[in-house]
Structure 1
């Protein structure tokens, strides 16, 4: 695996992942993506040659809707997804409101929010377009995830406080415990 196309093909060949994407697509959310560990873990599992997928704590469905920023709507959407696929640990977040929780300036889109995730290797998202084709967004490219390097996104290098959050997060996540080839830039 060494390109965006390889990542897409790997996800397309994964029936579980495609079923999750199809379930999320049914919500018809504006500017939606499934992001973070959903993509990163798949890439690292493949690169490590794992036969079994790494269990991830949640499936992050993100979208951007400035017209409805009530957290209760996110919970309602999670409930709908649980009805479609009850065994999946859904987490739905409207990025039009998440800047408040994250103490940041407002995001302009879901891709803007993904680009401001703490790590470049996690700043990834996938979705199905209207034709059912899988597309991937990678605001910082895919080199770091493919090279199994964890480093802060440019946004998290802008201040000592943000860099401290990044460092705390990577220590807590301890990704190299599961994926031995992962290198963390602290």
Structure 2
């Protein structure tokens, strides 16, 4: 099996292949359909569950292999309290019951409030779920997916998809996220030995 068959191809070809793979993945299809019904403002399923599903497909691994959770972002700056986000998290926990993976729900309008305490450095105040994806530690991880108003899958991929299809984890040095890049890179390589981790 040629796992690199989409590497280096034009973005539109890679985009079509990406959407084809993720739309046929049963686990991901269910997660996206449920996220759509939950209807959070500016919602976006991001990161691992997406690119890991593509890697599983291209290396012949089962759906869900190596995937820790489903990351679901939303953006709501009408109430930045912990309590408001916690209420959404608890509502989502009920909504996603029965899905084989846990769902991590985070309001991207609040990240700048808790990030400095958790990571010891500041974080920009994001203006949308899509904007926050640009600040992931690795460019490879910067992918998001949602349904648009017409029910079509909308892809957010600020750095393109070539890193995903090239099995290459490339650092995103926009913030000092070296440790996250290295830890996630090592974990990915343990599950998909085909991966190359580009040093920070």
Q: SS where residue 62 of structure 1 aligns?
A: strand
The size of the alignment, in residue pairs, is: 180
Q: Does 1:24 align with 2:38?
A: no
Q: Does 1:36 align with 2:55?
A: no
Uncovered stretches (5+) of structure 1, i.e. residues with no partner: 157-161
Q: Distance in 2 between matches of 1:168 and 1:51?
A: 25
Q: Does 1:170 align with 2:189?
A: no
Q: What's the TM-score, normalizing by structure 1?
A: 0.87
Structure 1 position 27, deviation (Å): 2.4
Cα distance, 1:73–1:90 mapped onto 2, change above 3 Å: farther
Match of 1:159 in 2: none
Q: What's the TM-score, normalizing by structure 2?
A: 0.81
Match of 1:12 in 2: 23
Structure 1 stretch displaced more, 77-86 or 104-113: 77-86
Q: SS where residue 180 of structure 1 aligns?
A: coil
Structure 1 position 176, deviation (Å): 0.8
Post-superposition CA distance 1:129-170 (Å, at most 9, x none): 1221111100111110110111112413xxxxx153345433
Cα distance, 1:117–1:139 mapped onto 2, change above 3 Å: same
Q: Distance in 1 between matches of 2:131 and 2:36?
A: 20
Q: Does 1:49 align with 2:63?
A: no
RMSD in angstroms over aligned alpha carbons? 1.9
Name which of 125, 132, 141 aligns with 1:113.
132
**Does the CA-based 8 Å contact 1:23-1:81 persist in structure 2?**
no
Post-superposition CA distance 1:26-46 (Å, at most 9, x none): 222221100011111111111
Match of 1:128 in 2: 147
Post-superposition CA distance 1:81-127 (Å, at most 9, x none): 33233133111111111123332121121111011011111111111
